[in-house]
Structure 1
Amino acid sequence: MVLPEGFVVPPWYLLVPVVVILGSVIALLWAIEPPVTDRTVLAFAPWMMFGATLHVLYKIDAFPASIEPLFTAPMVYAVTAILAGIVWIVGVFLHVGGLQSTIPRFVGIAGTAFFAVFTMFALFQSLDLGTFEPFWPVISVVIAGIVTAIAWIALSLWFTDVAATTGATGALVVFGHTLDGVTTAIGYDVLAAGEDVPLSLLILEAGEALPTADYIGAGWLFVLVKVALAMGILGLFREYVEEAPRQARTLLALVAAVGLGPAVHNVLLFTVA
C-alpha cells in the first residue's frame, strides 16, 4: 500500500470543476509571473495551516454532506490552493494599482484571517463537545521550536552558505517538517494515535524495534529522519535558489507545505478531538 489511508477521490461533478479552476488559477499566475521571495513564502504559511484546518473540520463532521468531499485528502489541498491563488492574483492587481504596498502583506493578512476564523470555529465546537485538550499540542509546538532552533544553528555553523541562501524559506521548511515529526511522534508514543502514511509507519515501527523504545519511545527516529530530510533538501536546493530563485523558492514552499500542513493538522486534531 503506497497511498495513505483516507485518500478519497470525490465525485466527478466536484472533481472536474476544481481541476478546471485550479488549472486556470495556475495558468494566470504563470502568465503574470508574480515575484517569489522569502516574504512571499512566509505569507503563504497561514494558507498551509488553513488547509490543515479545513481537513480537521471535515474529520469532526463540521461541513454539510453536499460539500464534504471537497475537504477530504487530497482534494482539500486543491481547494486551498485555489483560494490562496485567487488571493495572490488579487494582491498582484491591488499592488499594481497602488492600493497595496506589498503583495506578500495582502496574501499573509488574508491567509491569517481565514486560518484564524476557521480555527476558532473548530476550537469552539470542541469546547461545546468537551473534547478540548491543548496540553500535548502546545508541548509539541514548544519542542518543535527548540529542535528547529538547534537544527538551524547547526546548519548555519556547518553549512553557512545553505542557511544564508535559503533564508527564511529554508527555516520554514525545517520548522514545518520538524513540527510534523514531533506531533507524529507524540501522537504515536503518547496519544496512541494511528499513522495513515505507510512510509511514516515503517519508520515508526523501526524506532519501536530499537532497544531505546522502552525508554524514549519510537517517535524520536521519525523526528530525526524528518529534520535530516528537510536539511538535506535545503542543501540540494542551494545552487537552484542562486540560479533561479523564483522557481526554487516556489518548490521549497511546496516542500514546506508538505510538512507544515500535516503538522498543523495533527496539532489541531489532537486539540479538538
Structure 2
Amino acid sequence: MTARCAGGLRGAARPVGRSGPAVLAERVAAADWTALAGELDAVGCAVTPPLLTPSECRALGALYDEPDRFRSTVDMARHRFGSGQYRYFAEPLPEPVQALREAFYPYLLTIARDWADRLGRPAPWPDSLEEWRAMCHAAGQTKSAQILLRYGAGDWNALHRDLFGEMVFPLQVVVGLDEQGSDYTGGEFLLVEQRPRAQSRGTSAVLPQGHGLVFTTRDRPVRSARGWSAGPVRHGVSTVRSGRRHCLGLVFHDA
C-alpha cells in the first residue's frame, strides 16, 4: 500500500503552531471515517487527510531540540530497537499533541469497540479520553507515551508493538512532519501481519507531510474458517536513505 494509505516541563503548555484545538478537531472530523474503518479492516492501516500544515509540521518537529519538553530520550541502537532516536513528551503536552489526541479518540473508540465485539473481547474504554487515562493511572500507568521521533540517514525502526502495561488501546496514530522525497528519502512505514494458518503479510506506506496514519497497536480482527481471529501485527520504519525524518506518535494509553 502506498499512502495517500530529560527533565519534565513545568507549568502551562507552551503554544506550538497557529491552529487551536477547535481547528485541529475539525480537520480530524472532516475525514471519511467509514472509509478509514474499511481500510483498517482491509489492510490494517489507513491514511487520513491533512491534519497539519507544513508550517505546523515544522514547528512540531523543531520541538525535538527543546529538551525540557520531554521526560526521556531513547537511543534506538543502544536498546537494539533499530537506529535513530525518539523522545517521550512530558506533561503538560504541547497543545497540538493534546488536541489531536483528544480529537482522534472518539472516532477510534467506535472502531475499537467494533473490533472487540468481533473478537469476543471486553471493551473497557469509556466515552472520554480523560476517563480512560484515569483508568490507566489507577492501574499504575501514569507516564506520557506520546513521542517525537527523529531519523537520519541510515536509521530505521525494528518491527515492534507499543505496549506499556495491561491497559491497552488497540489503535494509534503516527503523523508525518517532513516531506518524503524533499526532506528525506526511504523511511517508509512498515506493517507486518501474522495471518491465521498462513504466511505473514507485509504492507508499506509513504506518510505524506501533515497526514496521519491510523494503525493497530497489537492485533486486529481477521476472518478465518472459524469466524473472527486476532491477527497479531507489528510496525516499524524502513531505512532512511538520506535527509532527516521526524514524526509524531500518538498512543492512547499511558505508560
Same fold (TM over 0.5): no
Larger radius of gyration: 1
Name the one with the larger strand percent.
2
TM-score (norm 2): 0.28
TM-score (norm 1): 0.27
